Amino acid sequence: MTTKTGAAEAAGLRTSHGDHGSDEERFERGDGTLQHFTIHHDGVTIPVSRGGRGRPLVLCPGLNSTQADLHDLAELLRRDHDVVTFDLRGHGLASAAGDYSFEAFLSDLTAVMTNPADPGSADAPVLVGYSLGADLAVHYASEHPGAVAGLVVIDGANPVPEPFITEAVLPEFRAMWEELATQQEARQDTARQVSLTAQEILELNVEIDVVRSTILDRYRRIDRPISLIMSTSMAGDSDEGHAARFNQMWRAGVERLAREQPHIATSWIDADHGLVFTHAAEIAQRIRSAGGSAGRATS
């Protein structure tokens, strides 16, 4: 992976991981096995899909990822979970918004969690979040005791020892986000579009740094089983540029969390921040393994 791509992944962004055209067509067409509905809140329309069998599970995407991007992982999980997927505001088939703050995205997750397609389901779901979605999931679980059976954090919600976005790296990140915004123009009006501008992505990433500086307190409030699935080289495997420092910070944050909350189960995948796209089968298996303790409070 190049330094440019690695830095983009470190910022919570994603780049293309192959040709997913056929998956997108299936998602947009619908295969007859999923229930599709929309949630309207805060002036935003959130598209939701639900299907599968077994334990309820909600899969929260991250920044610059959509439920169409997470198709492979969701389909694997649907073999033994009743899976809910959705798009955050400004992503995929969700409507654009005037507010792309962390709290605004958290309100999207809250709306999904409190508006199930089947109100008769009494079982609390396992909540799985990727990247920004992991931070949203930790905040939601900390604010709603008993609302989730368990929590799976995928390469996010990491109490890193210092901010990622500093003055030294800001020009490089700004240039990459501007390039990414240009690339996103080709995905307009598709299930993989992202409406955020480079400036909005910058502002959100700066806010995420602040959110993660206090996220240890959020973990302390959660009395459900928590599992972490983290990438070994979240910023890529290049020894050039800032990738090595970002990777060291990422591991240091996980080690800090392990010392603070030793009951949290942590596993690593030899991959970069795009692990949900490149290692979907392995992640699905680890989520299944983590689900064995869901619904049982930690001691």
- Walk along the chain (299 residues) and give the pLDDT tens digit of each residue: 333 334 343 334 333 333 333 333 344 434 447 999 999 999 999 999 999 999 999 999 999 999 999 999 999 999 999 999 999 999 999 999 999 999 999 999 999 999 865 555 668 999 999 999 999 999 999 999 999 999 999 999 999 999 999 998 888 888 888 888 888 888 889 999 999 999 999 999 999 999 999 999 999 999 999 999 999 999 998 877 789 999 999 999 999 999 999 999 999 999 999 999 999 999 999 999 987 555 333 32
Closest CA to 128 of 29, 213, 55: 55
Side by side, which strands form the sheet with 44-52? 35-41, 44-52, 81-86, 55-60, 126-130, 150-154, 226-231, 265-269
- The DSSP bridge pattern shows strands 81-86 and 44-52 to be antiparallel
Tell me the domain boundaries of the chain: 3-14+33-292
Q: Which CATH class is domain 3-14+33-292?
A: alpha beta
Considering the entire predicted model, what is its pTM? 0.88
Q: Could you count the other beta carbons within 10 Å of the beta carbon of residue 142? A: 17
pLDDT on residue 268: 98
Residues paired with residue 46 on neighbouring β-strands, in sequence order: 39
**CA quadruple 188, 191, 196, 202: dihedral, nearest 10:** -120
